[in-house]
Amino acid sequence: MADAPLDRICIRDLRLRCILGVAPEERREKQDISINIVIEADLQRACRTDSIDDTVDYKAIKKRVIAAVEASAHFLIERLAQRIAEICLEEPKVKRVAVSVDKPGALRFARSAAVEIVRERPREG
């Protein structure tokens, strides 16, 4: 039998500031970034029980992401996106996560430069 499709929890346009980039001027002061996270999990039980214990606590994940990002000083957007995905996958109910990190003003004539990644919990067995 095929796996049931996963449900999604979205955290949209989380706007934070951190050190991010390779150029010396990018390493001096925190810059604005925008993060979008799509968490995939089986939420059927939570839909029936209406209990926080049966779902993914996205507020707790958001707090951990904020703490990690604001304390970070990565050179690459890719590494920051990976760290955010790792935080999300620490929650056992999360099966897959898509993370996008936008860096406004990174490229002349473009609104932003962004990296999007998808990471999945390894299958057991």
Positions annotated as catalytic residues are: 103
Nearest to 39 by CA among 19, 18, 59: 59
Residues 6 or more apart from 11 whose CB is under 8 A from it?
35, 36, 37, 39, 58, 61, 62, 65
